[in-house]
Structures are given as structure tokens and as C-alpha cells.
Amino acid sequence: MEDSPIDTVSPVVKLVVPLVAAVVVAAGGVGYAVHEHHAAQNLAAQNQQVKAELSSTRGQLSDLTAKVNALAAQAQAAEQQQAAAQPAPVAAPNRAARPRASRATDRRLTRMQAQLDAQGKEIEETRGDLTNTATQLTGSIAKTHDELVVLEKKGERNYVEFDIQKSKQFQHEGPISISLRKADTKHQFADLQLMVEDRNLIQKHVNLDQPVMYYQSDSEQPIQIVINDITRDHIHGYVSAPKYRQSELTSMADANANATPNATPNPDDSIVGDTQPAPGTQAAPRKKLTVPPQL
């Protein structure tokens, strides 16, 4: 009787084959487990990254929401301020339904407004007339050197031209001292500091050709300061003063009276100091006295 193939296999082989199969199965299981572990780790890392991105997105959304709310609040506040600043709309008057009393009031207001305008014009004209009168009483104003020469030839006042640079030091001109503190070439005015009879005076915003007047204690006529030209830190103009002060006029009058004590004024003769000669004597020659010009 012949032996079967199973019977002919060595017992060693029978033991090795199951072991090899077991090892292969175990190795496959280990490989699969390692693969699953790596896959689980990758998924966990991806989950963490997604969570971090979601957190960042939520923070950005919160910031944007806060900014939008702030902008909306500012816009609302601006609209409220604008609405508060705008006057309330006034309904158009219904001319057809206007009462007669309102129309009469409007006519009275119109007449009053016309009267006020007319009075304002009269006031302005009066001011101009007063200014012109004051100028005529105190003498004409010279705007150029030639006009100043003409005024000086009249012999009524003394005129002293000046050129003054900007400085804190005073420059003596005629009966006063002047210090230029500011010269505005754009608007053509100057600020002056004056010394008049030991009085320190400040005169600001003196316009071109505008006379500045000051009265001395012993004179009925004022001193005039007139600026004819304003340049950078420099002014040109003149000082006008009365030729005689009141005390000088009084002294001259007293001297004339004392020089001819026995003189009998003759209204028909323009010669001052004319006297009638005594009987039997020769008439003395007539003497013409100097009379101060009228101011």
C-alpha cells in the first residue's frame, strides 16, 4: 500500500508553515496599525489647524463687527448734529390767507426800514462834512512834496518833513519825537509812538494821508502828523505845527502895546502906532509894526 503526500511531508515543515503564516499576518496587522496611527495623527493635526483658523476668523469677524458698529454710531451722531444744526423748515406763507393786519405791519416795517436807511446816509454825510470842516479849520493836507511846498509858502504853519526807520529810539521832528514801531506795506498803515511835551503817546493803525492831531498845552491849533509813504520798515511824511504859540502871540501883543503907549488908533489907517503930532512940532515918521498872521 502506497504512502499519501501528506504523510510524506516532514513534521518540521508542518510546524514552519503555520509560523510563517502567523508572522505574515502579524506583520500585516502591525503595518496596518502603523498606517492607521499615522493617519489618525494627520487628521488630529488638520483638526487643530482648522480650529486655529476658525478662531482667527472669528476674531477678525468680531473686530470688523465692532468697527462697523462704531462707524454706524458715528454716522448716526453726525446725522443728529446736522439735523440739530439745520433750522426747522418754515412753512411758506399763504399769501391768499394772509390777514390784512399782517400786510399793514409789513408796510410799516418797510417804511421804517427806508427811514432808517435815509438816516444812516445822512449820518455818513454829516461825518464827511465834519471831517472836511476839521481839515479846513486845521489847514490843508499835503500828499506830495510839491503840495507841502505850496502850504509852506502860505506862511501859516511850520512844516518839517521826516524819514523814519523802524526803531525803538525816538527821532526828533519839529516839536515832537516819533518812533516807528510797525509799518504794514500790504494794508498801508503804521503804528507810532510819540513824545509830545514829555507825554508818551501810542498811536496805532495810522493810515496813509490820515492826519493825526495833538494839542499842545499853550496852543489853540493842533500839531499834525501825516504819513505820505509807507515802505518796508520805513515811513515818509511831515509834521505840521502852528507858527506861533499862544504865549508868543500874547508877548508880541504886549510888546506892540508897550512900544506905542501914547498911540491913538486910527481906524482909517492900516498902519499901527500912528500918532497925531503935537502943535508946533514935526510929525514923526510912521512905523509899521509886525503883526502875527492869523491862525
Residue 137 lies in a domain: no
Model pLDDT, residue 58: 82
Task: Show Cβ contacts of residue 140 under 8 Å, excluding neighbours closer than 6 positions.
Answer: 147, 151
Give tens-digit pLDDT for 112-148: 888 888 888 888 777 666 655 555 545 577 788 888 7
Distance CA(144)–CA(152), nearest Å, equals: 12
Residue 43 lies in a domain: yes
Q: Classify residue 220 as exposed, middle or buried by CB count within 10 Å of its CB (0-12, 13-18, 19+).
A: exposed
Q: pTM for the whole thing? A: 0.40
Residue 57 lies in a domain: no
Residue 251 lies in a domain: no
CB-CB neighbours of 135 under 10 Å: 13
CA torsion angle for 103, 109, 111, 116 (degrees, to 10)? -170
98 band by pLDDT with thresholds 50, 70 and 90:
low
Task: Show Cβ contacts of residue 143 under 8 Å, excluding neighbours closer than 6 positions.
Answer: 209, 228
Residue 19 lies in a domain: yes
In the chain the first and final C-alpha atoms are separated, in Å, by: 182
191 lies in which domain range?
145-242
Model pLDDT, residue 262: 52
270 band by pLDDT with thresholds 50, 70 and 90:
very low
148 and 162 in contact (C-beta within 8 Å)? Answer: no
Give tens-digit pLDDT for 216-256: 777 778 889 999 999 999 999 999 888 877 777 677 777 77
CB-CB neighbours of 280 under 10 Å: 5
Chain position carrying cell 499576518: 25
Helix (H) or strand (E) holding 202: strand 199-207
Which of 213, 242, 271 terminates a domain? The answer is 242
Lowest mean pLDDT among 27-41, 53-67, 77-91, 191-205: 77-91
C-alpha cell at 144: 506830495
Query: What's the total number of domains in the chain?
Result: 2
CA torsion angle for 203, 195, 247, 132 (degrees, to 10)? -20
CB-CB neighbours of 207 under 10 Å: 13
Distance CA(50)–CA(136), nearest Å, equals: 99
177 and 201 in contact (C-beta within 8 Å)? Answer: no
Residue 227 lies in a domain: yes
Q: Using the predicted structure, report yes or no on whether residue 162 has a pLDDT greater than 60.
A: yes
Distance CA(248)–CA(53), nearest Å, equals: 106
DSSP 166-187: B-SS-EEETTEEEEEEEEETTT
Model pLDDT, residue 5: 52
Residue 163 lies in a domain: yes
238 and 162 in contact (C-beta within 8 Å)? Answer: yes
Residue 224 lies in a domain: yes
